[in-house]
Structure 1
Amino acid sequence: MDQTDHVPEQAGSSSDTGRGQDASVSAPIIRLRAVIAAAKYHGLELDTRDFAAEPGEDTPSPATLVRWLEDQGAVAKAVRIKWRYLVKMTQSPPVVLMFRDGSAALMVNTTPDRGVVWLQDPLKTAAAPVAVDELRLSQIWTGDILLIKRRKGESEADAPISLGWLAKMVLREKRSLRDIGLASITLSILQIFPPLIVMQVIDKVVSYHSMSTLVSISGLLFIFSIYEVLISYARRDLSLVLTTRIDSRISLHLFSRLLALPLEYFERQQTGNVLGRVMSIYKVRDFLTGRLMSTFLDLFTLVVILPFLFIISSTLAWMTVACAGLIGLIVVVAMAPLSRVMVRQMEAERDRSAVLYESVAGIRTLKTLALEPIRKQVWDDATARVIRWKLAMGRMSNWPQTLVMPLDLFISRGVILVGAYLALTSPSTVGVGALVAFMMLGGRVATPLVGLARLLDDFNEVMSSLAEAASVLNQPTETKALTMGMRPPIKGALLFEDVNFSYPGSTRLALKDVNFSVPAGTMLGLVGRSGSGKSTITRLLQGVSRSYTGYLKLDGVDLREINLTHLRRSFGVVLQDNFLFRGTIYDNITAGRPGFTMDDVVHAARMAGAEEFIERMPAGYDTFIEEGCTNISGGQRQRLAIARAVITDPKLMILDEATSALDPESEALVNANLERIGKGRTMVIVSHRLSSLVNCDQICVMNQGAVVDIAPHDVLLERCDIYRTLWMQQNRHTSSRAQSEDSSLIAEGE
């Protein structure tokens, strides 16, 4: 009992930002730490930096935490539970309890006979758990808990994209499908009564001139019509909700899968081609939630109405079914040749989309070089191929449609003539009212039968579209590397040991037996002629390519064993051509990562030499950067990219030709700050301008994928022929000036 008496103070210290020993830690961080500790019990290593809060959400909600955990490879569920059930969860894995102030704690065990649960401070997992009773817990607990476990087997997010995958996604909406099915059955039953009533009107009311019967039947028909209108509205609304939910789920999975693809894949593919293939999946979506669903809903009508048709006239019913069967047979026979032409048409349309995307993306180069006539010719050729295959597709599909048309006309027109003949020759078989009722019901039966046959035609196109989307989305992803692996603290010591690497599809080694090491805090320069392997080394460091042989270690840990997200978040990378997003300068420097203040942004901009031009802008750090960075210069964009890299205070920075787009003044400013930027961190600088690498601790000279030498600048000038040659080429004018001054001095002395 003594332990229980101290519960409020202990619980408060783990959940209140203003009290206890951890007052400096905010409540949302405590909640995230609790989730991370619970996941670690199941062998999942998570990082708070990977968490992205929902817009406008100060404290992560249980739903947001569930989404994050599932993205990280866990299975999570948020549950609201009562005390009497919570206290019975003995010997369970750690459970996250949500507190009212936005923090959380870990429930590690319960003692039902004492009526207490045992809570663990997520910031002090080594400390002993504390017992809490119902009264004290109710003062701080919201009633929500978070259950976490490791995912076993393949998740929906990782499963291959296929028709079965999409079908499972549709079938997950069981409640909506059930309600739509019930509405369809009800509508089918209601649709039986009007034709039967019309039959009675013709046979009874008209024949016997019974006005009272007409009034009664009219009222009944009106009531059925009202119900039919209301249920039809409800079914359409349910179908709309269903398709919207499925559409949103497909969109989320599609974008996540696309972002999980490795960079190497995008480098090998044409962007417009990739986008065209991915967007093909929406044709499958339209098929599943549109034509397929409407056809199967109409089949409810067929199942209910068809028996009544056979009751009215088995002869007319068999004729209707036979014609619909012949239509289906024609469609099936035409499927194979139509499929081949359809694939060619889709390829032509995808190629044309690629031309359009490439022209828009490269519009600046296109205008600068006056390439409009050439690009127009390329577009005209691509359009001609599309038109040619579209025309072939239309003509080929025209034949089955022509063959189907007489059968379709017979169902709608010929059956009534046969029915009239039967009514004239044998009135006892088919009466006038029965004939009218058959025509009213028969039209509703023929529609789903014909639709089912034509569905096979659409199915062929859908499978082609699905294959196109799957060819991109089913590529091997980085999901496992992004969510699994070690998360060691990064200091920056690098070791290359017998590293060999070749790009996919190439037989030539891009790196050959690379061996060198640098301690943490080293400023390392990489130099060499074009194609010597400098940028390849930076790619391996960033985890872009992991198919190398040998050992590449960061702080003694093989790079392939480190969590890829943790690795990339620990790096600061500035490339030769950096991409800035549409948004303010502040948004681009912080790159959407929460927690940075304006002081952090200003400090990063000052280190990158960007502060002076930002402050000259009318809106300062709130200046909006347009798409394509049309309102800032290339040098300004480069300095913003450097500021974006240094604001996270990475322990290892990679600058790959980072100053190539800068003017001499800006380059001198950035180079002057490099020593200050590099203090306390490892810097890997790739540059063709050797003057910017003079102050590097070590300079690695590369040639044809191999390391020629590694040493400081002065040592390389003396012993490395390649480095000396490159230095002389870039500083020829300086050498010539020095030689001329020496000659003039000698002449004066003479």
Structure 2
Amino acid sequence: MRTYADNDYPANHKPDWRVIAGLWPYLMEFRGRVILAAGCLVIAKLATVATPIALKYIVDYLDASRSGNTVLWIPVVLVIGYGLLRFGGTLFNEVRDAVFARVAERAMRRVSLKVFEHLHARELAFHLDRKTGGLARDMERGSSGISFLLRFTLFNIVPTILEIVMVAGILLVAFRPAYVVAIIIAVVVYVVFSIKVTEWRTGFVRESNARDNASNARAIDSLLNYETVKYFNNETFEARTYDEDLEAWEQARLKNRLSLATLNAGQALIIGVALIVIMGMAVGDVASGAMTLGDFTMVNAYLIQLFIPLNALGFVYREIRQALVNVERLFSLLEQAPTVTDAPDAQPLAPDGAEVRFEHVGFAYRPDRPILRDIDFTIPAGHRVAVVGASGAGKSTLARLLFRFFDVDSGAITIDGEDIRHVTQDSLRRAIGVVPQDTVLFNDTLYSNLAYGRPGADRDDVYRAARLAHLDRFIESLPDGYETRVGERGLKLSGGEKQRVAIARVILKDPPLLILDEATSSLDSLSEQAILGALDEVSRSRTTLVIAHRLSTIRDADTILVMDQGEIVETGNHASLIRAGGLYSRLWHQQHEDTETDRPSASMEAVGPAPNRSQPK
């Protein structure tokens, strides 16, 4: 199946009707319910088709009663039978819906969960490119589309076809074939017209949905970046851009509604002409004595019964087509396999000391721009290795590769001699704790965000982690303490407070291997020194990879790697690198001079080539 960016299909995209077959496994989970619902459907339809027959006999008996040769109880029984058939048709339809409800809702649940799990299994590159608003809408529409397809395909299209066949059979037996021919012609013309006009309308519907996705994605993106909008006084710009998207959506909706009016008017015309022709035939037959008044009433009732569900055919067909597209989009997400997967023979990682080895690693986010070139170094078990260098040198890429957000293009990364591509991703990531440079929190309580490091941890363990991260006094100063809500992405907390939450999470996770990606970058000097002490204590017996800009935070590292242009250009401890007088020494003296003159600490961008913002670090 061909896929499109952000799952946007062109307006002339034809839905794949084979999608319905993909729903079959979800029906089979409740096979008994499906069979029972189908049985109720048939019984309800039989009762519905039999109702006009009962009405015919009532009318004929009342017509005959004018001669005086009647029995009182016969019309009473016929009326009761007529009422029971009416009630039975409605009752079994409701029982059918109640029985099938579990099937449809469970199918929505199963597919939604499957897509959710699949999205979490996708590689980082997919999530860097995605548009969250549009993706959320596709998931929402796809889940609803599954329910719609199951209900309307089974309980609207199939029953309507069944009823047409039954009515045609009855009319063929009871009356002359001309009635059946007239009804079949009317139904065929009606169906063809509805399908053709609906095909024409589908482009407008799809355009409306695409515009809806675009406006929704824009709104969510703008609200998520609320502070940035405020920093640049761009509220008017954002509102204008959003209104442009809404204007396009408005125009698409207008075309949709006007085309719907055309469809409804055409359907009404076909039904009106069919009724005139068929009822005219019936009037002629009654006048000639070929039909009774009851027969006339029965024909009229059948026409009403047939055209009521057919009247919704255009809507149902269009919605089924759109539901097919929505479900197709949902299934297309599942068909896009993750690029980072477990090997068929992958085994759980059981780290023994967690020695990390980068063996001549090469990597590029894009083939035309290499990021890492022949990176070769070892982090002995329990040692701390720091990586410094200009932005764009590839420092954070080392952490992403070790965590296996991406796979290396050449070489290998091993932990205790095992290639990380040959162990399960779950066990690998359980063994690694990460304190990122930019910590994003869930819109929940402080306690929940802390406990996320190890769901199910004892409260005492959570409190201990907060204490080690020097977060306990801050939390105790809050009116709601640990139950304080942090807001969307943690915006109610300062950068330093969010960083401490990240550190506390890793302490709670208690992994054998740590990655500190500028873990103190958002802290003031006093807090930094306090947390560095906590991190020193936590990482003392753990293998640790430290990525840093401020060289003062890594001077005690066992080994320091200096990177430039994707290569390791210097290696050693702080003292030896200072004596060597190379790039590290220049960076150190630059930052030291800036500190002494009471200027902001020089960032790594102060030395080395200008960073390329088009690629992740």
Is 1:299 paired with 2:299?
A: no
For residues 539 and 584 of structure 2, the distance between their equivalents in structure 1, rounded to whole angstroms, comes to 23
The code of the aligned residue for 1:642 comes to: I
Per-residue deviation at 1:339? 4.1
1:17-416 equivalences in 2 (<5 Å) = 162-209=19-66, 210=70, 211-295=72-156, 296-313=158-175, 314-334=177-197, 336-412=199-275, 414-416=277-279
Distance 2:362 2:581 in 1: 23
TM-score for both structures, normalised by structure 2: 0.86
Measured at CA, do residues 279 and 736 of structure 1 come closer, stay the same or move farther in structure 2, by a change above 3 Å?
closer
Shift of 1:531: 0.4
Q: Aligned partners of 2:25, 2:274: CA distance in 1, in Å? A: 36
Which amino acid in 1 is paired with 2:39? L
Displacement, 1:173?
A: 2.8
Q: Which moved more, 1:229-238 or 1:700-709?
A: 229-238
Deviation (angstroms), 1:452: 5.3
Determine if contact 2:517/2:546 at 8 Å carries over to the other structure.
yes
In structure 1, how many angstroms separate the alpha carbons of the residues matched to 2:485 and 2:262? 57
- Tell me the TM-score normalized by structure 1: 0.72
Structure 1 residues 297 and 253: CA distance shift in structure 2, 3 A: farther
Structure 1 residue 605: deviation in Å? Answer: 2.1
Question: Would the aligned equivalents of 2:349 and 2:428 in 1 still touch at CA under 8 Å?
Answer: no
- Given that 2:149 and 2:324 are in contact with CA atoms closer than 8 Å, whether structure 1 keeps it comes out as no
Q: Is the 8 A contact 1:278 1:472 kept in 2?
A: no
In structure 2, the partner of 1:550 is 411
8 Å CA contact 1:483, 1:565 repeated in 2? no
Q: Assess, with a 3 A threshold, how the Cα gap between structure 1 residues 223 and 489 changes in structure 2: closer, same or farther.
A: closer
Question: Against the structure 1 CA distance between its residues 348 and 619, is the aligned structure 2 distance closer, same or farther, given a 3 Å change threshold?
Answer: closer
Q: Structure 1: which 5+ runs fail to align?
A: 1-160, 738-750
The separation in 1 between residues aligned to 2:323 and 2:355, in whole angstroms, is: 52
Q: SS state of the match for residue 342, structure 2? A: helix
User: Deviation at 1:675?
Assistant: 1.9
Shift of 1:628: 3.4
Report Cα offsets for 1:246-289 as digits up to 9, x if no partner.
22222222222222222220112222232233333134224313
Q: Is the 8 A contact 1:513 1:706 kept in 2?
A: yes
Counterparts of 1:303 and 1:457, CA distance in 2: 23
* Structure 1 residue aligned with 2:459: 598
The change in CA–CA distance for 1:713 and 1:630 in structure 2 (over 3 A counts) is same
Between the aligned partners of 2:342 and 2:417, the Cα distance in structure 1 is 19
How do 1:351-500 and structure 2 match up within 5 A?
351-412=214-275, 414-424=277-287, 426-428=288-290, 430-449=291-310, 455-477=316-338, 480-481=341-342, 485-490=346-351, 491-500=353-362
Please tell me whether the aligned partners of residues 523 and 698 of structure 1 are also in contact (alpha carbons under 8 angstroms).
yes
8 Å CA contact retained: 1:279, 1:469: no
Deviations 1:499-556 (A, max 9, x none): 11111x4510011111111211111111111100000000001110014211111111
Quickly say closer, same or farther: Cα 1:533–1:318, change in 2 above 3 A: same
User: 2 CA distance for matches of 1:394 and 1:482?
Assistant: 52
Give CA deviations for 1:560-610 in whole Å, capped at 9, x if unaligned.
111101111111111111122244433322217355333322332232222
Q: Which amino acid letter does the alignment assign opposite residue 321 of structure 2?
A: N
Is 2:402 the counterpart of 1:541? yes
Counterpart-to-counterpart distance in 1, 2:21 and 2:81: 45
Q: Which amino acid aligns with 1:276?
A: R
Cα distance per residue 1:656-675 (max 9 Å; x no partner): 12111112211111112232
Structure 2's unaligned 5+ residue stretches are 1-17, 599-617
- Deviation, 1:396, is 4.5
Preserved CA contact (<8 Å) 1:359 1:366 = yes
Partner of 1:56: none
Tell me which residue corresponds to 1:158. Answer: none
Secondary structure of the structure 2 residue equivalent to 1:477: coil
Q: Give the match for residue 569 of structure 2.
A: 708
Mapped contact 1:483–1:563 kept (Cα < 8 A): no
Deviations 1:19-66 (A, max 9, x none): xxxxxxxxxxxxxxxxxxxxxxxxxxxxxxxxxxxxxxxxxxxxxxxx
Is the Cα contact below 8 Å between 2:122 and 2:339 reproduced in 1?
yes
Structure-2 residue corresponding to 1:727: 588
Alignment: residue pair count: 574
Over the residues paired in the alignment, what is the CA RMSD in angstroms? 2.6
Q: Which moved more, 1:396-405 or 1:630-639?
A: 396-405
Alpha carbons of structure 1 residues 479 and 311: separation in structure 2 relative to 1, 3 Å: farther
Counting helix residues as a fraction of each chain, which structure ranks higher?
Answer: 2
Which residue is 1:526 aligned to? 387
Percent identity (aligned): 24
SS at match of 1:520: coil
Q: Say if 1:720 and 1:330 are closer, same or farther in 2 by CA, change over 3 A.
A: farther
User: Given the superposition, is the C-alpha separation of residues 552 and 302 from structure 1 closer, same or farther in structure 2, using an over 3 Å criterion?
Assistant: same
Deviates more, 1:188-197 or 1:263-272: 188-197
Instruction: Quote the Cα distance in structure 2 between the aligned partners of 1:335 and 1:302.
Output: 22
